Structure 1
Amino acid sequence: MRVLVVTAVAAEAEAVAATEETGTLLRGGYAITRTPGLHVLAAGVGPAAAAAGTATALALADEPYALVVSAGIGGGFTGRAPLGSLVVSDAIVAADLGADTPDGYLPVDELGFGRTVHHPPAALSAHAADALGAAHAPVLTVSTVTGTAGRAAELAARHPRAAAEAMEGFGVAEAAAVHGVPVIEIRAVSNAVGPRDRAAWRIGDALAALRDGFRRLTPVLQEHL
C-alpha cells in the first residue's frame, strides 16, 4: 500500500526519500518523489500551503493512498522532546486557530466552527513511536513559530501533553480527512520551543534523525497498513 508523505521544504523531502532527486511535477508545480512504498511531496510552509498541496496530491493520485504522513523538523517542548529526537503524534492540534477574548483563548471548535484536533490511528501511531523510540504525544500546528518564553509557557499550559510544534500538520490532516485517508505526524526536533536562538538550532541533526527515522519506519508502515 502506498503512503503519501508531505513536508514543507525540499530538504525535508530529501531526508524522507533519502535522495536528492526532485521527482516529477504535479499540476500546480508540486514536486513529488516516488520511492518504493512512499511518495514524498514538498508542499510549502504553513497550514494553508500544506493543505493545498496534500489535497492536490490526493486528488490527482492514480490509485488511493493508505496513509498520509505530515513530516519534517520542528520545535520540541523542553523536558518532553530534546534536540535530535523524534515525536510521533497521537493528536494533531491547531493550537492558534480561534479567538482571543477577555477571558482567554477560545479554540475554533468552542466557537462552533469546525474542529481543532485530528486523531491518528491509535495502534499505528503507537507502533510507529515504539519503532522509532519516539515520544508519542500531541504535535501542535502554529501559524507563527514560538519565539518567546511567555508564548511557550502559554502553549504548554493549554496543551500540557504536547511534545512538539510545527506549521503544517493540521493542514495536512484537514486535506486527508476530506479524502477519507488516515493521517499521522512525525517531527524531528531541531530547536527548543521558546526564545528564538538560532545559534542553538540543530537543523542538520534533525534532518539526519528524520532520514534515519523513515529508514526504520517504512517497513513498520507497510506491515501495519
Structure 2
Amino acid sequence: MTPYKILVVTAVDAEAAAIRAGLDPDLIVVDAVGVGPAAAAAGTARLLATGAYRAVISAGIAGGFAGRVPVGGTVLATRSIAADLGAETPDGFLPVEELGFGSSVLECDPVLLKALSATLPHAITGDVLTLSTVTGTQATADRLADRFPEAVAEAMEGFGVASAAAAASVPFAELRTISNAVGPRDRSAWRMAEAFAALRAAAPALIIS
C-alpha cells in the first residue's frame, strides 16, 4: 500500500503541540525527538523504521539572519546545511567536503518545496543551517552570513532529519518560524509568542495532497 501519512519532526514538545493542534492524525504524525542533529537523526530514523510515510518535514522555531527574514516570519528551506561539520584550521573553518569525508549539504525535495511554497506564499525560501551550538555573538553571525549568502535561518535539527530521510529514500523538507535574529544571545529580544503563532498558522499547509 502506498504511504499516505506525512511525518513532521520537531525538537521539543511545545513545537509539536503547536503543529499538532487541529490537524488530523490520520494524515499527519507529529513527534518531538529531541534537540540537536544526533537526536534528530536517531529519532527520525526510528520513526521511519516503524511506519510508512510519504514525506518527512523538520519543523520548529529558529533564529533568522537579520535583513533576510523578519522575526515572526516563516522560512522554507531549499537546502539543509550542517554548517559546523568540518575542521578548524589556522586559516579558518574547513568544511567536510574539503576533508573528503562526504557532504554537509542536503537538498530539500523540490516537489515538496514547491507544494509547501504554494500553500505558504509569504514564506521566505533559502538555506537553513544546522548547528550543534547556537550562534551567540555578532562575529559568528557575520562569519556564517558570509559563508552562506543564501542562508535565511539557523536551527539545530534539520540536517539530522534530512540525513535520516535520505537514508530511507523519503522526500524531505524543512519549515521554520523565526523567534529571534541570529547573533548575540539576548533572550529579552526573543519573540517566542510570535514564532509559535506563526508555527500554528503554518501547520495546516503541511497537509499536502
Query: Normalised by the shorter chain, which TM-score bucket?
Result: over 0.9
Whether the aligned pair in 2 keeps the contact of 1:176 and 1:182 (CA below 8 Å) is: yes
Identify the residue that residue 78 of structure 2 maps to in structure 1.
90
> Deviations 1:40-80 (Å, cap 9, x if unpaired)?
1100000001011001001111xx21100000000000011
Does residue 1:189 correspond to 2:192, yes or no? no
Q: 1:53 aligns with which of 43, 47, 52?
A: 43
Whether the aligned pair in 1 keeps the contact of 2:116 and 2:206 (CA below 8 Å) is: no
Cα separation, 1, equivalents of 2:33 and 2:109: 23
Q: Secondary structure at the match of 1:5?
A: strand
Report percent identity of matched pairs. Answer: 55
Residue identity opposite 2:40 in structure 1: A
User: How do 1:1-225 and structure 2 match up within 5 A?
Assistant: 1-18=4-21, 35-61=25-51, 64-132=52-120, 133-215=122-204, 217-219=205-207, 221-222=208-209
Relative to the length of structure 1, the TM-score reads 0.88
Whether the aligned pair in 1 keeps the contact of 2:112 and 2:171 (CA below 8 Å) is: no
> Deviations 1:122-164 (Å, cap 9, x if unpaired)?
2321331342110110000000001100000000000001000
- 1:205 Cα offset (Å): 1.2
Cα separation, 2, equivalents of 1:135 and 1:110: 30
Whether the aligned pair in 1 keeps the contact of 2:65 and 2:151 (CA below 8 Å) is: yes
* Count of residues in Structure 1 that have an aligned counterpart in Structure 2: 205
Q: Secondary structure at the match of 1:163?
A: strand
> Deviations 1:100-135 (Å, cap 9, x if unpaired)?
112221111221112101111223213313421101
